[in-house]
Each structure stands twice: as C-alpha cells, then as structure tokens.
Amino acid sequence: MRISDRAVARIVAAAAASVPGTTELGRSLERIAGRTYPRFDVLVDDTARTCSVEAYIAVTWPSPVTDVAEAVRATISTWVREYTGLTVTTVNVVTGPVVAAPRVTTVAPTRPTLRPVTVAPLRVTHPVAPPGEPLRPVTVAPPVALRPVTVTPTRRSRVR
C-alpha cells in the first residue's frame, strides 16, 4: 500500500493546527514567495514504512514557545502513526514568528493568595553616653556652594 507525501502532509497540518498556541500566518504575496506559516515538508519511505517531517510553525503570544513546539512534535508523531500506520523517524519543529493572538489561547494566570504580614513591634531607645562621659555634639560640614557653569557653543562644520 502506498501513502502519498501529500496525504501525510494533510494529516500533519491538521495535527499541528489542533495544538493551542499555533496560528496561520501569511498574506497572498507571502504565499507566492513561500513564507507562510505553517509549512510542512514530509518525506515518506514506502518500502521501510517510515516518515520524516519538518514543520515550520508560527506561535501566538503569550504562549510558551518551547511547550507549543513540543506539543506539535508529539501530536504530529501520534497522528501520523495512528492514521497511517507509518513509523515516524523524525519530527523537526522550527518556530517562526511569534504574533499577537487574535484571541486568548492560554488560561489566565491565577492571582496569588495574599496573607497578612505580622511584625513584632520595635523597641526604640535613645542613645546613652557611656557612664561618666558627656555626649559630644555632632558637627556637619557646611554645604558646598555651587558655581554656575557656562557653556560656549562650538562651531560645527557642515557635512556635504
């Protein structure tokens, strides 16, 4: 039984699209130049019943890029194995651009539970001179007088 590269590529595309955090990216001119995301290169070896995949994906912000790439790799491998019976030898996932999500794809972070902080009251004491020694006055240096700074403009040369 022969399974075409194109048939496996469609399975790979559906598998990658099922992972939250991936998105399609590319306008009509970029499609002509081949700069769209996702893109997939699939190679099927019918005699060995194996398959290798190169997946180029775009990730939505604020999804964790490495987690999305690992999920895409695992999903592609599972779907190809289950739907075609081929052994998947390699799945390389290359993440391209990270773009703002049109809608939220991740769960909103939970707020931390705040608990009151308790502090032991401080005991304030006044300084005490050693027995038999009077307190010494504290002296502070007078402030430094600031002098005005004058800046003379320099002549600039013209760049031609």
Mean pLDDT value of segment 57-65 = 88
Is residue 78 in some structural domain? yes
Mean pLDDT value of segment 94-98 = 87
Q: Which residue range is the domain that position 76 belongs to?
A: 5-100
User: Buried b vs exposed e over 50-83: b needs ≥16 C-beta within 10 Å?
Assistant: ebebebbbbbbeebeeeebbebbbebbbebbeee
Is residue 130 in some structural domain? no
Is residue 159 in some structural domain? no
Is residue 84 in some structural domain? yes
pLDDT tier at 27 (50, 70, 90 boundaries)?
low
Is residue 86 in some structural domain? yes
Q: Per-residue pLDDT for 128 more than 80? A: no
Check residue 110 and give its pLDDT.
40
Is residue 49 in some structural domain? yes
Is residue 27 in some structural domain? yes
> What's the number of domains the chain is made of?
1
The rounded distance, in Å, linking the Cα atoms of 63 and 75 is 17
Top mean pLDDT of 1-5, 30-34, 65-69 is at: 65-69
Check residue 73 and give its pLDDT.
93
CATH for 64:
3.30.70.1350
